[in-house]
Structure formats: C-alpha cells, structure tokens
Amino acid sequence: MASQLKNLSDFSHTTIPSAAPYRFGIVVAEWNAEITNALYQGAYNSLIVNGALVDNIVSYTVPGSFELTSGADLLLKTGKLDAVICLGCVIQGETRHFDFICNAVANGVSNVAIKYAKPVIFGVLTTDNQQQAIDRAGGKHGNKGDEAAITAIKMAALAETLKD
C-alpha cells in the first residue's frame, strides 16, 4: 500500500500557495465521528496555518458520507466559496453497502465539482477497519484532512490562475 511508505501530512516536497485570498467550505460526515472530527481538525488547522482567514472558512456537518455530495452542492450553490472539502470515513463491513457508498460519494464529489467548475475535494477515508482509519486521521500515516486542505488551497489557486 502506498500509504505504508508515506505520511499523508508531509508536504515538504511541494510549494503551497497562500490560502488568504480564498473562501473554503468544509462538509463533515457525522458517521464515524471520532475519525471525521480528527480529519476536520487536520483540514481546518492546515487551512489556518497556510493563511486562510477564520472568517473565510465555513463548516457544516451532514449525517454520513453519502450526504457529503448534497452538502457540497448546497454550499457551492451560494456562490460564495472557492473550494469545498468533503470529509468522511467509510469502513468496510460485512455487506456490499461499503462498495455502493464509496462509489456514490466518489462519483458525486466529482459531479459537483464539474457542475460548478469549482474544486470539491474528496477527503473520505475508505478503509478495511477502524485501525486503518485511525492511522490516517492523525495517526502513523498523518492526517488525510491535512492533505484535503492542501489540495483545496492548490486547486483554488489553480482556478484563480486560469480565470479570464
């Protein structure tokens, strides 16, 4: 697995633009709250550390990862944001429900991004077990929330560069 060799929160190899000029939405699934709250803290802190203004970050919760797509759509419909970060955690269970949810969320996030021509970031853990989720939400593999925030900053800067 790629993440066994990589800390998701190591950005020493890349330049991160200032987040100061951009407005961000964060949508967080309440399901698997221990994990999603850690992802949220990572994303929020990374935005702040990289210059985002507190007043330029709006955060909302949705019941589960499936609802992240609707949440992102509702936020972008306001026309006030430059990027939306979707944070969730789906852990494999005994049924195929995992496959359906993961597929729907990944496709939904992509579709919302295309619909609004705005970055919508997939910060959803899709793990085999609870320990893998913990390892990626501030554990030994870093925090996927950090990665999602840095991706949002970079994509908002790219969109700004390509305007007009």
Catalytic residue among 6, 77, 80, 97: 97
The pLDDT tens digits for 45-82 are: 999 999 999 999 999 999 999 999 999 999 999 999 99
Residue 8 inside a domain? The answer is no
The rounded mean pLDDT for the chain is: 93
Q: Mention every residue, 6+ apart, whose C-beta is less than 8 A from residue 95.
A: none
Say if residue 136's pLDDT is above 80.
yes
Known catalytic residue: 97?
A: yes
Enumerate the H helices of the chain as residue ranges: 33-49, 68-77, 97-116, 130-135, 144-162
Residue 1 inside a domain? The answer is no
Residues β-bridged to residue 85 = 26, 121
Domain enclosing residue 85, as ranges: 20-162
Structure-model confidence comparison of residues 97 and 73, the more confident one: 73
Total of domains in the chain: 1
The annotation status of 89 as a binding-site residue, yes or no, is yes
Residue 10 inside a domain? The answer is no
Residue 5 inside a domain? The answer is no
Q: On the CB side of 154, how many CA atoms lie within 13 Å of its CA?
A: 11
- pTM, entire model: 0.93
Residue 11 inside a domain? The answer is no
Residue 7 inside a domain? The answer is no
Residue 126 inside a domain? The answer is yes
CATH of the domain at 141: 3.40.50.960
The pLDDT assigned to 8 comes to: 62
The annotation status of 136 as a binding-site residue, yes or no, is yes
Residue 84 carries which DSSP code?
Answer: E
Residue 3 inside a domain? The answer is no
The annotation status of 160 as a binding-site residue, yes or no, is no
